[in-house]
Structure 1
Amino acid sequence: MYLDEQKMHTILITLKNNFPHSEFIFDAISTSALTVDYSQSAVSKTNAKFTWGIDCFKELETWDSSIKLINEWLYFDMYIDRWKSLNLDQEILRFKTMGKIGYFQFS
């Protein structure tokens, strides 16, 4: 999210070239999360800028034929009972698809 798409592409290809047949996990935000007003969040206390988001991790497979998506999770898929107990489950639904974690393998 802090790097643009070209830098992400370069990093993944560099990893593939240096660590063939490895696995990696990373998190990303959706393109809709790029438009959120973060002025009231911790992000506003830094110079960080969100510059890249991805809506479908399968898209990374088009970057290089050796990139394979193994699995993905949404941030808020975990601890749903906790969100419900705090009466936040409906609020979470608005943000549910804005962040995800992807598990990949270089074939």
Structure 2
Amino acid sequence: MAYYQLKDRVVDGTLCGPDTYDICVQGLCRQAGCDHVLNSKARNDKCGVCGGDNSSCKTLAGTFNDAQYGYNAVVRIPAGATNIDIKQVSYSGKPEDDNYLVH
């Protein structure tokens, strides 16, 4: 296996990684907030809004308990939904109940 160094460092302003807002400046990663400002403390709220107050999103919850055989449409998850938690709980309390979550 061989590799070739193309440049000593990336262009200033390049994000340091896919899961961070930190920015490369003169070859070093510098802290940046979600507003893309160096040394900013701005963070995304649980709704994904930079500097938000968690008021722009809503929580949906429910239980599907309909006894039908075959495939059943339970819920349609809208595009852009985040922090999704779907659990399958057996009616009988046993781990194997012959039901499966599919998409």
Pairwise TM-score range, normalised by the shorter structure: under 0.3
Structure number with higher helix proportion: 1
TM-score, normalising length: structure 1 = 0.21
Greater relative contact order structure (CA < 8 Å, 6+ sep): 1
Higher strand fraction (1 or 2): 1
